[in-house]
Amino acid sequence: MKIEIKSEDLIVKDIKCFDLKTTVLCGQAFRWSETADGIMQAVVKGEILSVQQTKNELIFKNTSKEKFESEWCEYFDLNTNYHEICQTLKSDVHLKNATEEFYGIRILKQDKWETLCSFIISQNNNIPRIMKIINSLCENFGEKIADGAYSFPTAEKIASLTLDEIGIIKSGFRGKYILDAAQKIASGEIDLNEIENMNLQETEQTLMKIKGVGPKVAACVALFGFYKVDAFPIDVWVKKIMSELYPDGLPACTKGIEGIAQQYLFHWRRNSVCFDVGE
DNA sequence: AGCCAGGGTCTGC
DNA sequence: GCAGACCATGGC
């Protein structure tokens, strides 16, 4: 990976198998948006992250080499060879289609608490509204970083709120779940750092002690918050895929990387022209 | 108006 | 163990 510094920008050269926009907007993260000039922006780990992709380069605005190496390189999973992963997945014809049509999706390594809270909000909800609610959560209870930019509120902060106060973000019935999650994390009843070393089953079982966390949300948190890529979240879209294409279960080539396959299939089922007509 | 959205809980069999 | 009602909200 070649890195070049130009004034305030850090440029990463020779980026392969990475589509920035699709990766940050494909429903695994909820705080990203695109500016008028095609720059992707979000608050990540309490800082404004501003990135642009051109052909084979990633341009990080206002960052340092140290910051890139300690945070952003890992966040975007840039040290993992996704070309190799896609080659493996291509032995299944549907995954071949999915990975070729939507080349460059990666699994982001996101903050554990933020991911937990976000996917509790995601239940029985749609992506635009999930984004809106999380935005409101940050504006109301996060720290102001800059004009219009807020950090994701800590579990301690949310645990200090009443259910009534959480009502302002209009999360509906999910409010009580958010509060229960915050209380269990803030009190130490559940330690997210301990989950790091657990296998997938233990991870999901532990997360499901939180109210409002069932199999699907637990799998999403395992995958997107803990980078446990053998997790396989089944939402309504993936459920369709399974009944339409894999009635006998996932193909063998997904073994151990079910979560990465899942993200391609999810995005493919929702966006591909192949599924455009009828239902 | 009714259905759907990166579901889960609770009840009743 | 499993189906079915119910849960808030907003977009279409």
Read out DSSP for A207-229? HTTSTT--HHHHHHHHHHHH--T
Q: Is the CB of A129 under 7 A from strand C?
A: yes
Between CA A104 and C1' C2 the distance (Å) reads 40
Q: A54 by DSSP, 3-state: which? A: strand
Return the closest nucleotide (C1') to the Cα of A175: C8
Angle at CA A107, nearest 5°, toward A104 and A108?
Answer: 115
Burial class (CB in 10 A: 0-12, 13-18, 19+), A247: exposed
pLDDT tens by residue, A173-182: 999 999 999 9
Cα A102 → chain centroid: 17
Nucleotide nearest to A125 (CA to C1'): B5
- pTM (whole model) above 0.95: yes
* Measured CA A64 to C1' B8 distance, in angstroms: 43
Could you say which residues 217-236 of protein chain A have a Cβ atom less than 7 A away from any atom in strand B?
Answer: 217-218, 220, 233, 235-236
A135-158 pLDDT tens trace = 999 999 999 999 999 999 999 999
Model pLDDT, residue A255: 98
Chain B footprint bases within 7 A of protein beta carbons: 4-10
Q: Is the CB of A29 under 7 A from strand B?
A: no
Q: Give pLDDT, residue A13.
A: 97
Q: What is the average pLDDT value for chain A, to the nearest integer?
A: 96
Q: What is the distance of C-alpha A120 from the center of its chain? A: 13
**What mean pLDDT is predicted for residues A76-83?**
97
A99/C10 CA-to-C1' distance in Å: 32
pLDDT of A246 > 70? The answer is yes
Distance from CA(A121) to C1'(B1), angstroms, rounded: 26
The nucleotide minimizing the C1' distance to residue A172's CA is C8
Q: In what order do the strands lie in the sheet with A40-44?
A: A3-6, A9-12, A57-60, A47-54, A40-44, A33-34
pLDDT of A54 reads 95
**Separation between the CA of A8 and the C1’ of C4 (whole angstroms):** 58
Per the CB < 8 A criterion, the answer to whether A38 and A52 are in contact is yes
Burial bucket for residue A67 (CB in 10 Å: 0-12, 13-18, 19+): middle
Nearest to A213, CA basis, from A181, A249, A169, A254: A181
Residue A164 and residue A128: Cα distance in Å, rounded? 24
- Asked if A216 contacts A54 with a C-beta cutoff of 8 angstroms, the reply is no
Q: Residues A26, A266: contact at Cβ < 8 Å? A: yes
- What's the confidence (pLDDT) of residue A30? 98
Share of chain A above pLDDT 90, in %: 96
Nearest to A48 by CA among A60, A36, A57, A37: A60
Q: What is the DSSP letter of A144?
A: E
What is the CA A244 to C1' C1 distance in angstroms?
26
pLDDT band at A80 (very low <50, low <70, confident <90, very high): very high
Q: Evaluate if the CB of A87 falls below 7 Å from strand C.
A: no
pLDDT at residue A55 in the model: 85
Distance CA(A89)–CA(A155), nearest Å, equals 37
pLDDT for residue A277 is more than 70:
no
The confidence band for A274, taking pLDDT boundaries of 50, 70 and 90, is confident
